């Protein structure tokens, strides 16, 4: 494992802890107080307004903006993006282990990797420290694409022309891929993401206000925003639904370097999901280290660096509560006022219009209030190792238990050309011996016969020699048998 660099210490204790007690204004440095005044949301809690997003109050607008415009990441760097807080430890530990080709247990989860937070707390010197790392680096962020903490993210925003299409831009695209870092964005069922935001707000508010009197619907309101709920201030990191939708746009424009990963898959099929992540990160698939990470990935949900006593923080870090959290969300929204239900549907519209098919599917599922129960082919489909069902795209397979992939975007299998189909008519299924007699079929070589019920009566063939039933005829075939021989080869090629 690569040795971790010495970091400059945090400049103040402000915001060191998730509990509100560490966000007392008197802990702020003089610089923070004078240059960047805090904003307060409708619950009276402090936040930092950066662009149109809320950031935790220890983040500095100047730092986020400067990282975005001035700091250049290395092409070998990897960014893990989490549109909702907190960052699941298991995902970070496994990703770092893959990148560093190290054991998962050896990864120090207390090392600050959240770059916006670390530079805000420790100053620009943090970047000098990580500059000394000569191996691949893994950093995290929560930021939306438009505030991404490096200047060479490869993100193309809505008003810029995407660099696809002409052949001249192909070269520019490859050049760009050579200098931009890899960005893995971790999203999940939208109800799960929102409940993570609700959970974080609750933990912070209880620490800040010193009371547990507020209920989840208060926080839900603050997370959903919009749709008549204006006045509650901007959402944290732009809101996980909007933030994820923006990342899906970025992925569609730069698919080689930016990819969405689905936390659900790391719960339902961790080895497949981890294998997909390893391939995206560009690490050796065959190394002992990668194999170990993939093999041990079933433990991804149990990894946590939180202190045993902070149960609520531990809960926020968990990734295996998909079912419970989507249920909790459904009961919250069912009892919410219409204006909040409208705001929720409005948020989901971003996912319905997304270029990412899985975000579409989740949004539809959430609109229909379906329980969390992802189709089992999603994990292999998203990891790009699925075996597509050839009947599904034609609407000919509705079997829930079908072992093949019913995922989106698989091409419809091509129909053979008309005369090819005409030729195959009568051969498409196992011919009965009678038909073969009539057509004067010559037996193909032995291996191709497997499963075919060939007639054993030698006298039925017009070709000479006793070996006729196990191979092509040795003598010159009649014109008729030569034609059928060609057809046989057509059929065998097609299998």
Least separation in angstroms between CB 403 and Zn ion: 8
Cα 208 to Cα 195: distance, rounded to the nearest angstrom:
19
CB of 273 to Zn ion, least distance (A): 14
With CB under 5 A as the contact rule, the residue among 67, 200, 405, 442 that binds Zn ion is 405
* Shortest distance, position 177 Cβ to Zn ion, whole Å: 25
Residue among 125 and 399 whose Cβ is closer to Zn ion: 399
Angle, in degrees to the nearest 10, between helices 190-209 and 240-253: 140
The residue (of 100 and 264) whose beta carbon lies closer to Zn ion is 264
Q: Would you count residue 248 as binding Zn ion (CB under 5 A)?
A: no
**Judged by CB under 5 A, does residue 91 bind Zn ion?**
no
Choice between 170 and 373, CB closer to Zn ion: 373
Q: Quick one: tokens of 267? A: 């719960």
User: Which token pair is 411?
Assistant: 């091409």
Task: Kindly give the interhelix angle for 322-334 and 338-352, rounded to the nearest 10 degrees.
Answer: 130
Closest separation in Å from C-beta 343 to Zn ion:
33
Number of C-beta neighbours around residue 272 at 10 A: 21
Report d(CA 28, CA 21) in Å as an integer: 12
Nearest distance from C-beta of residue 375 to Zn ion, angstroms = 10
Residue 19 burial by CB count (10 A; 0-12/13-18/19+): exposed, middle or buried?
A: middle
User: What minimum distance in Å lies between the beta carbon of 390 and Zn ion?
Assistant: 8
**Shortest distance, position 336 Cβ to Zn ion, whole Å:** 36
The residue among 143 and 407 lying less far from Zn ion, judged by its C-beta, is 407
397 binds Zn ion (CB under 5 A): yes
**Residue in 407, 431, 444, 473 binding Zn ion, rule: CB under 5 A:** 407
Cα–Cα distance, 322 to 190 (Å, whole number): 10
Rounded distance, CA 81 to CA 149, Å? 11
Nearer to Zn ion by Cβ, of 203 and 383: the residue is: 383
Binding marks (x or -) toward Zn ion, 343..382, rule CB under 5 A?
--------------------------------------x-
d(CA 67, CA 81): 15
Nearest to Zn ion of 408, 426 (CB atom): 408
Question: Whose Cβ is closer to Zn ion: residue 247's or residue 378's?
Answer: 378
Binding mask 376-395 for Zn ion (x = CB under 5 A): -----x----x--x--x---
Contact indicator for 109, 95 with CB cutoff of 8 Å: no
Question: Smallest distance from the beta carbon of 409 to Zn ion, in angstroms?
Answer: 8
Residue 281 or 402 having the CB closest to Zn ion: 402
Q: Cα separation of 42 and 368, whole Å?
A: 31
288 exposed, middle or buried (CB, 10 Å; 0-12, 13-18, 19+)? exposed
- Stretch of 18-26, 115-123, 398-406, 436-444 contacting Zn ion, by CB under 5 A: 398-406
Contact of 193 with 88, CB cutoff 8 Å: no
Instruction: Output the smallest distance, CB 422 to Zn ion, in A.
Output: 28
Helices (H), 28-103: 30-35, 61-70, 89-100
How far is residue 75's CA from residue 137's CA, in Å, rounded to a whole number? 10
Among candidates 32, 35, 63, 41, which has minimal Cα distance to 50?
Answer: 63
Biggest CA-to-CA distance, the chain: 104
- β-pairing, 182-187 with 78-81? parallel
* Binding segment (CB under 5 A) for Zn ion, from list 167-175, 351-359, 400-408, 458-466: 400-408
Q: Which residue has the tokens 């379906």?
A: 370
Query: Can you tell me which of 133, 402, 439, 491 binds Zn ion, judged by CB under 5 A?
Result: 402
Nearest to Zn ion of 397, 448 (CB atom): 397
Give 260 or 303: the residue with its C-beta nearer to Zn ion. 260
Smallest distance, Å, CB 379 to Zn ion?
10
Chain residues binding Zn ion by CB under 5 A are: 381, 386, 389, 392, 397, 402, 404-405, 407
């Amino acid at each position: 494992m690569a040795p971790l660099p010495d970091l400059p210490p945090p400049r103040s204790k402000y915001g060191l802890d998730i509990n509100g007690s560490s966000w007392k204004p008197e802990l702020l440095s003089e610089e923070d107080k004078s240059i960047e005044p805090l904003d307060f949301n409708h619950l009276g809690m402090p936040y930092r307004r950066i662009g149109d997003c809320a950031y935790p109050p220890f983040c500095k607008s100047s730092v986020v903006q400067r990282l975005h415009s001035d700091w250049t990441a290395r092409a070998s760097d990897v960014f893990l993006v989490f549109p909702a807080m907190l960052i699941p430890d298991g995902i970070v530990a496994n990703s770092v282990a893959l990148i560093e080709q190290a054991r998962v247990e050896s990864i120090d989860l207390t090392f600050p990797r959240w770059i916006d937070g670390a530079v805000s707390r420790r100053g620009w010197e943090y970047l000098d420290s990580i500059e000394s790392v000569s191996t691949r680096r893994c950093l995290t962020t929560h930021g939306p694409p438009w505030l991404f903490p490096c200047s060479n993210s490869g993100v193309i925003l809505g008003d810029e022309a995407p660099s696809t299409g002409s052949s001249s831009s192909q070269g520019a695209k490859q050049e760009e891929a050579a200098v931009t870092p890899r960005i893995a964005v971790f999203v999940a069922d939208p109800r799960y993401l929102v409940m993570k935001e609700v959970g974080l707000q609750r933990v912070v508010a209880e620490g800040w206000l010193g009371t547990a009197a507020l209920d989840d619907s208060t926080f839900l309101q603050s997370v959903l925003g919009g749709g008549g709920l204006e006045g509650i201030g901007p959402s944290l990191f732009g809101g996980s639904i909007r933030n994820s939708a923006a990342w899906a746009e970025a992925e569609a424009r730069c698919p080689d370097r930016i990819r969405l990963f689905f936390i659900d898959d790391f719960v339902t099929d961790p080895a497949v999901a981890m294998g997909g992540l390893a391939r995206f990160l560009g690490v050796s698939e065959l190394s002992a280290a990668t194999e170990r990470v993939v093999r041990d990935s079933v433990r991804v949900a149990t990894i946590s660096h939180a202190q045993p006593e902070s149960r609520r923080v531990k809960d926020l870090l968990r990734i295996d509560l998909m079912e419970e959290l989507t249920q909790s969300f459904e009961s919250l929204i069912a009892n919410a006022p219409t204006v909040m239900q409208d705001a929720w549907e409005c948020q989901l519209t971003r996912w319905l219009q997304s270029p990412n098919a899985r975000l579409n599917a989740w949004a539809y599922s959430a609109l229909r209030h379906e329980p969390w129960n992802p189709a089992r082919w999603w994990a292999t489909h998203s990891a790009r190792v699925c075996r597509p069902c050839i009947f599904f795209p034609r609407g000919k397979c509705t079997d829930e238990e079908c072992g093949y992939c019913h995922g989106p975007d698989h091409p419809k299998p091509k129909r053979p050309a008309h005369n090819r189909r005409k030729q195959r008519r009568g051969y498409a299924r196992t011919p009965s011996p009678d038909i073969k007699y009539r057509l004067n079929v010559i037996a193909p070589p032995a291996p191709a016969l497997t499963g075919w019920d060939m007639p054993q009566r030698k006298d039925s063939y017009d070709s000479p020699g006793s070996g006729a039933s196990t191979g092509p005829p040795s003598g010159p075939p009649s014109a008729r048998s030569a034609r059928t021989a060609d057809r046989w080869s057509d059929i065998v090629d097609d299998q």
